[in-house]
Amino acid sequence: MTLHTTSLLTIGVVVVVVAALLSGVTGAELQPQHSIRPPFSPTGQIPNWDLSGQAAVAGTLVRLTQLEQSKKGAVWNTVPVEMHNWVVSMVIHVVGGVVGGDGIAFWYAKNRLPEGNVYGSAEKFDGLAVILDTYDNDADGLNPALLGFVNDNTIVYDRHTDGKPMAFGQCVRKFRNTAKPFKIEILYQNGELQVSSNLAFDEPLEVCFKKTVHLPTGYYMGISAATGGLSDKHDLIDLVVSSLDGAEQAQPQTPPSESQVNIDRMAAEVRDLSMRILQLQGTIRDVNQQFTGVKETLNRIPPSSIASEGIEGLRALIAQLQHQSVQSTSDIASIAHSQQEILRAITNVHDSAASSLQVWLIFATVLVLALYLVFQARSQRDRNKMF
């Protein structure tokens, strides 16, 4: 096993522990049948969820849309919600150009919605929508924004105004192209809905809006996204749904200890490192595609050209670089498979005692950071040799 393989596998192990540390509501009971968390099946299927459009599993996350124009993607839970009180915590990353399009939406609907023109889903719905809008259709400058909607299947969402006249709550949040993924929390308890968010998943949440609303049981949860003339990558990294039916309302939480604060900080750094590794995987794919394009261009140049010797040299260099790129892609695919197996095994293990968890996380964090630095140094050395 190579050094960077060991590094990535260690990251995969730690991320699962991190996820347990980042749950935020006291008294909440996790509902696995409504949640989306790695590890995922090698087939790309997620238990109790249907994927449609461009939505697909990509390593340890679900990519709803690629960085392509006019795409739609969605995931819909196949199990109706029977909880009266619940909380949804989503970790999301939205990345694209200077101007984004179009956005992502969380749905709590009477029926699972078909594909449509409202962030990948239908224009009319019966239930709740919390929308993360990125494109400023009405040119009021209040984007990106979070908006809340309740519909009884009679109102058609107006895309030209970003639906703002029918929104019961909204707030501006600059969540596009953030350095870290961000978190959205949707809490429904005793008829009160509260939507909170941040701009980095490890930062405190800020309340965006509240609303007294009746949400019946038996509805379905879904997340959809869409791009238009402009495009963004819409990544769903974590979706945790918990029941609050057994929790007491408005109980003060004990302030975290200094030890817990330090552990949370290290956990955030480890998860950020994991995201950078995933981005590296995508970069290698892009580079390989560019190599192929350059090689095809060179092949179209006539052999009798006066620059034939230089072209042959370029062909040889490109072939060498492409071979290394293909090898890296193959290595990462193998790493991803091994990582999934390790994550799958870890999810079957009960939580350790708090002290044991702290010791493990500290050790794993130091090990991951050390291995990553060595991997970076090795990559730089290889590039220096190449050129």
Domain boundaries, the chain: 1-26+258-300+307-353, 28-249
pLDDT > 70? residue 114: yes
Q: What confidence tens digit (pLDDT) does each residue in 184-238 have?
A: 999 999 999 999 999 998 899 999 999 999 999 999 999 999 999 999 999 999 9
Half-sphere exposure (CA, 13 Å, Cβ side) for 19? 26
Strand 220-226 and strand 103-109: pairing?
antiparallel
Which residue from 281, 233, 337, 376 is spatially nearest to 12, judged by alpha carbons? 337
> Peptide bond preceding 162: is omega within 30 degrees of 0, i.e. cis?
no
Q: What is the pLDDT of residue 35?
A: 97
Cβ atoms < 10 Å from Cβ of 123:
14
The first and second tokens of residue 328, run together, are 């890296």
Cβ atoms < 10 Å from Cβ of 172:
12
E-strand spans in the chain? 29-30, 49-53, 56-58, 61-65, 72-77, 86-96, 103-109, 115-118, 121, 126-133, 145-152, 169-172, 182-189, 192-197, 206-212, 220-226, 232-243
pLDDT > 50? residue 2: no
Q: What is the pLDDT of residue 385?
A: 55
pTM over 0.95: no
CATH class of 28-249: mainly beta
The region, left, alpha or beta by phi > 0 then psi within -120 to 50, assigned to residue 349 is beta
The first and second tokens of residue 121, run together, are 């889903």
Q: What confidence tens digit (pLDDT) does each residue in 291-312 have?
A: 677 767 767 776 665 566 666 7
CA distance 261 to 275: 21
Q: How many helices (H) and strands (E) would you count in the chain?
A: 4, 17
pLDDT > 60? residue 78: yes
CA distance 62 to 220: 19
Mean pLDDT of the chain: 78
> Peptide bond preceding 114: is omega within 30 degrees of 0, i.e. cis?
no
- Report yes or no: 184 and 207 within 8 Å, Cβ to Cβ: no
Question: 340 vs 168, which has greater pLDDT?
Answer: 168
pLDDT > 60? residue 13: no
Q: Which of 15-19, 38-42, 208-212 has the lowest mean pLDDT?
A: 15-19
Task: Please report, in angstroms and rounded to a whole number, the separation of the first and last CA atoms in the chain.
Answer: 27
